[in-house]
Amino acid sequence: MNAKEVLSELKWRNDRDLDNAIIHYVHRGAPNDEKAVPGIDIQGLESSFFATSEAMIPYHRIIRIEYDGEVIFERSRR
Q: What is the CATH number of the domain that holds 38?
A: 2.30.30
Alpha-carbon distance of 37 to 21, in angstroms, equals 9
Q: What is the pTM of this model?
A: 0.91
DSSP sequence for 10-63: HHH-TT--GGGEEEEEE-TTSGGGEEEEEGGG--EE-SSEEE-SS-EEEGGGEE
Whether residue 45 contacts residue 7, with contact meaning beta carbons closer than 8 Å, is answered with yes
Q: Given this model, what pLDDT does residue 20 score?
A: 97
What are 19-73's pLDDT values in tens digits?
Answer: 999 999 999 999 999 999 999 999 999 999 999 999 999 999 999 999 999 999 9
Domain count, the chain: 1
Range of the domain at 38: 3-74
